Structure 1
Amino acid sequence: MASVKDVARLAGVSVATVSRVLNDSAPVTAGTRERVLAAVAELAYRPNAVARSLRTDATRTIGLIIGDILNPFFTELARAVEDEARVTGYSVVIGNADERPERQDHYVRTLLEQRVDGLLLCPTAEITPLVRDAVADGTPLVFLDRTLPGLDVPTVRADGTAAIGELIAHLTRLGHRRIAFISGPALLSTGRDRTAAFVAAMAGHGLPVRDEYLEAGDFQAASGRASAARLLALPEPPEVIFAGDNLMALGALDEIRARGLRIPADVALASYDDLPWFTHVDPPITAIDQPVQELGRLAVRGLAERIGGRPADPVVLAARLVVRRSCGENDSMEGSARR
């Protein structure tokens, strides 16, 4: 394998000049640059990333720890992070916390031992010791999708408050009054925020929030199905089931179909989080869509700022309502967005 000394010898320059060309760290003449790059190509030289990281204390890698890799939202988010990281010259190492604090800490420890330059973290419900230590040690860190109160870490997230308000307004225009909500875990900021937005939107339209219409799920399909089963077994079942994430919406859909009920004739269905296949079911499902690509892009940019020793501002993007036919819509209905 060719070394940087071999490149320098073939190009007739010093090792320092080769380094300046490859790292673009200082100006060199056009002729010198051409000779160095020609030598690199002829020798098929590849820089040693490990050796470079020992010299520069940078590995050009970042860690991404997500809540649940089987959740399509996190899968898409990881892809968005990876795409932006590649553009900015970083590689991404992904850890799946599976919503377990101890597994999250395992990945925090492992990634820091691998000397990643910074961490993007979709935190679990609690402040774990290693996360607290990473913040105290000045590790470049950005929270993604979720917040952890009490830690001075910038967060890149979406806010669905307005979109949930638009959904409730849309449902009332369709004549729905009995609206049930399957929430996520109250320990997670996303679970709390979406529940608070739902309660506020219902109050804003003069609709009661009946205790039996509030179900606590866990962002998994099984909890969505179990919650839908309880709701549909009530003496006065809801007219609408609004699931707090896409997997719980999938579970609710399974239960509705298992009971032989029709959507939306017998019960309407809406989801927080959109999925590409929501347009392919019959009827297509109304959903609140989060700007996943933009979240991933801005999270990587914010982390790059922190790696560079600069502050990164928190970012809050608006989610949007996508109106389809699962709540009783027809082609003449107007929603805030259609697709």
Structure 2
Amino acid sequence: MASIKDVAHHAGVSVATVSRVLNDHPSVRADTRDRVLTAVAELGYRPNAVARSLRTDQTRTLGLVISDVLNPFFAELARSVEDEARALGYSVVIGNADERPDLQDHHVRTLMDRRIDGLLVTPTDGGSPLMLDAARSGTPMVFVDRWIKGVDVPVVRTDGTDAVRDLVAHLHALGHRRLAIVAGPAATTTGRERVEAFRSALHEFGLALPADFIGQGDFQAESGRRVTARFLDLPEPPDVIFAADNLMALGAMDEIRARGLRVPGDVALAAFDDIPWFVHTDPPITAIAQPTGELGRAAVRALIDRVEGRTTDSVILSARLVTRRSCGEPEGSKP
């Protein structure tokens, strides 16, 4: 009986390409698709997931442990992961850590017990013992969005440094000089790096980031509201509040409005992680957008490379600034 490897060899393509053709993935060129389908017909290949699992000890199943499925960024990421995996002949089992290390460990343990072929993780902390053991156990693993320093696992992530610098340049050009940040958890790489990118950009433009203008959030809306309340209670509040994720930005906006203040008339607001809702708020929110769909697709491809024994490198994508009207941009400004 012909195998998928036989089909790939006969058609002169990779096993991954055969999987894409069999799952009707749109990225395959027409001539390549025709060669694969011809090879399938000539060899009489019939996919059988159960038999394949028994022969290869593979389940064609990937695990995804996501930080917070209610966060629109992670919801979109999960959708792109599931779509790409399905197109390549894999299923995905998702666990929501809810930004809790204990839940993260629970899902990692459960997924590994279910004999998944590989694991995608957005770590919620600096590396619990179970997470470190899983990374070193030989189970194919890829970190996505966040990572654990010192652990030899490929990372698929976005670099927001240039986009944060573009935001600070934009705010400076609008006349803002007192800029504050609602930071993410210091235990996460994204939490730390967004603060450092912000601090570095402010320094470039001759602006300071005093301790009173840094507030520790947890990537949840309530923390955005709490930190914003502290900023607004200062004798000299900031001109701009930059929230290091979308949910904290929405919490910040809630607090500003609860005090009867206006965005951007009384205080400007910007966010990391653009979401579709931001164009519908009043005013629409200036934000840094990540290529979330491509992030998820690239993470799946990297993980399947590891599952199928190929060399995998880390992937770094670029974020971009989307300007709207929440920072005092002129009426009629377009992204």
**Partner of residue 120, structure 1:** 120
CA distance in structure 2 between the aligned counterparts of 1:118 and 1:35, rounded to whole angstroms = 29
Superposition TM-score, scaled by structure 2 size: 0.86
CA distance in structure 2 between the aligned counterparts of 1:86 and 1:275, rounded to whole angstroms = 24
Provide closer, same or farther for how the CA distance between residues 23 and 85 of structure 1 changes in structure 2, counting only shifts above 3 A: farther
Q: Residues 56-135 of structure 1 correspond to what in structure 2 (within 5 A)?
A: 56-135=56-135
Q: Which has the larger radius of gyration?
A: 1
Q: Percent sequence identity over matched residues?
A: 59
**Partner of residue 164, structure 2:** 164
Q: Residues 130-145 of structure 1 correspond to what in structure 2 (within 5 A)?
A: 130-145=130-145
Cα deviation, residue 30, structure 1: 7.4
CA offset digits 1:187-239 (Å, max 9, x no partner): 11000000000110111100111221111111110010011111111111111
Higher mean C-alpha displacement, 158-167 vs 125-134: 125-134
CA offset digits 1:35-80 (Å, max 9, x no partner): 969xx9xxxxx94x44431222111111100011111111010001
**Partner of residue 290, structure 2:** 290
CA distance in structure 1 between the aligned counterparts of 2:288 and 2:107, rounded to whole angstroms = 31
CA distance in structure 1 between the aligned counterparts of 2:223 and 2:206, rounded to whole angstroms = 29
Cα deviation, residue 133, structure 1: 2.3
- Asked if 1:265 corresponds to 2:265, the answer is yes
**Partner of residue 24, structure 2:** none
Provide closer, same or farther for how the CA distance between residues 23 and 62 of structure 1 changes in structure 2, counting only shifts above 3 A: farther
CA distance in structure 1 between the aligned counterparts of 2:157 and 2:111, rounded to whole angstroms = 23
Q: Unaligned 5+ residue runs, structure 1?
A: 1-15, 41-45
Cα deviation, residue 263, structure 1: 1.1
**Partner of residue 193, structure 2:** 193
- Asked if 1:312 corresponds to 2:321, the answer is no
Instruction: Verify the 8 A CA contact 1:101 1:126 in the aligned structure 2.
Output: no
Q: How many residue pairs get matched?
A: 310
* Letter of the structure 2 residue corresponding to residue 115 of structure 1: R
Cα deviation, residue 103, structure 1: 1.7
Provide closer, same or farther for how the CA distance between residues 182 and 233 of structure 1 changes in structure 2, counting only shifts above 3 A: same
SS class of match (2:271): strand
Cα deviation, residue 134, structure 1: 2.4
* Letter of the structure 2 residue corresponding to residue 67 of structure 1: S
* Letter of the structure 1 residue corresponding to residue 150 of structure 2: G
RMSD value over aligned CA atoms? Answer: 2.4
CA offset digits 1:160-190 (Å, max 9, x no partner): 1111111111111111111111100111100
Superposition TM-score, scaled by structure 1 size: 0.85
CA distance in structure 2 between the aligned counterparts of 1:31 and 1:144, rounded to whole angstroms = 35
* Letter of the structure 2 residue corresponding to residue 278 of structure 1: F
SS class of match (1:157): strand
CA distance in structure 2 between the aligned counterparts of 1:157 and 1:27, rounded to whole angstroms = 36
Instruction: Verify the 8 A CA contact 2:7 2:40 in the aligned structure 1.
Output: no
Q: Unaligned 5+ residue runs, structure 2?
A: 12-36
**Partner of residue 221, structure 1:** 221
Provide closer, same or farther for how the CA distance between residues 261 and 30 of structure 1 changes in structure 2, counting only shifts above 3 A: closer
**Partner of residue 274, structure 2:** 274
